[in-house]
Amino acid sequence: MKPVVALSLALACAGCAAQAQAPAPAPLAAAADPISSLVGQLDLEKYKATIKSLTKFGDRRQGTERNRQALDWIEAQLKSYGCTNTERLQYQYTQAAPGDPAPKRAPGIPSGGAGGPPGQGGSTLFGNRIATGVNNDPMAQPDEKLRALNSELTPVGTSQRENVYCTKVGSQHPEEMYIVSAHMDGIGFGEAANDDGSGTALVMELARIFSAPGVETDRSIRFILWNNEESGLNGATAYVNQRKDLQGIESPKGSGKYPEPKWLGMIQHDMMLFDHGMPFQKIDGYGKPVVDEQGKPVFVAPPEQRLEADVNIEYQSVSKQADASAKLAWAFRAANDKYATRYPASVGFHMTNTDSTPFMDLVPSISLRENERGQQIGSGWDPHWHQPTDLYANFSDKDFLLGLNAAQTTLAGVAKLAGLRIKK
């Protein structure tokens, strides 16, 4: 068993921004395979604790006080890990009033395909499906304390939003970087434990491990937690619009500092815990299939993680960076083969509706998920998606281990691409 970096997580506080700082982690020992040594620092209980802490802020709906408190807590944690150069990118977002046209999402992807009804990102829908949607009813949340925590809604009108990020600066090529990201906001009047506390915790854990003493990379790695994903990928789109033309520019000139290193790859994480498989028809207490009032079958999700559960690595085949994105996806599949401990990975080409979308025509971009976004999540394979049941308590260790295996996959993939070294 590899040694674990000593680090205690500060518990989240829904009503305060200041957090206790964790003790400095101990240096890692040099190893014959530094990637294996780093992957060994990932710990299920630390990952779960970070998700649990995020749920103390409820669903973290954008524009609310609980969202701002979560941003403050995330920033404090990143600093406590040693990723001290934390920054925020500010942007303006307009929340439409009821009855106004819904804001447009980031540029989309053709949907549909031969063989079945159209899905998202070009996928085809097969098999049993459950209706999906967003819960907008606070009273659907039976927990009174959580309902009260989530009671503040996004204010109507234009106001400021923020993304938070920190950067592992490359020792050889600080002018180049990989982006590792997830979105920290949620909706549905639950805890947003899976969507996307699971991805946020993954990115934070990687920031913790790459910030340990003795860990060096040739190229930079930026760990970004997006805001406003649920309202239309607005935080990621704002980042692209503000920073794409600043890539690789030294500032001040001659300083050796690059505020926006050149993007080499973008890796997004969005919902990491639930791969229970295709819904099946509900059976009543007498062993008979259940139907609704119209006589249609009633489908429900399997209660346990399926035996063939996997991490889905997706790129978008119609993007301008499709070939390079496919190469990046398969590099992560190879990292999973070598370093993941429990669940395998599969590669798909229908990446859609996630924060890598605004990047996909500019830089090789992939997303890691629990299921294929268009065909499976879009067919209701995760019944907690945008629902008040997206609660920490509704996921088992088997579910959390799927997220941990995604973390192993990304850590190993990025470590190899960025040129990992562990100093003695």
According to the model, what pLDDT value does residue 97 have? 80
Q: What is the mean pLDDT of the chain?
A: 91
Tell me: pLDDT of 6 over 50. Answer: no
pTM of the predicted model, to two decimals? Answer: 0.91
SS3 content of the chain, % helix, strand, coil (to 5): 30, 20, 50
Bond preceding residue 3 cis, omega within 30 of 0? no
- pLDDT one-digit tens code per residue, 355-396: 999 999 999 999 999 999 999 999 999 999 999 999 999 999
For 307-401, strand residue ranges (E) read 311-314, 345-348, 365-369
Q: For the segment 221-279, what is each residue's pLDDT rounded down to a tens digit?
A: 999 999 999 999 999 999 999 999 999 999 999 999 999 999 999 999 999 999 999 99
> What percentage of the chain has pLDDT greater than the value 70?
88
Q: Which pLDDT score, from 0 to 100, does residue 19 have? A: 42
For the chain, domains (ranges, CATH) are 36-422 (3.40.630.10)
Q: Mean pLDDT throughout 79-103?
A: 88
Distances (CA, A) of 88 to 112, 205, 310: 38, 19, 33
Closest by CA position to 225, among listed 9, 60, 364, 22: 60
pLDDT for the residue 346 = 98
Q: Is 3's pLDDT higher than 80?
A: no
Please, what sign has the CA dihedral across residues 180, 185, 187, 190?
positive
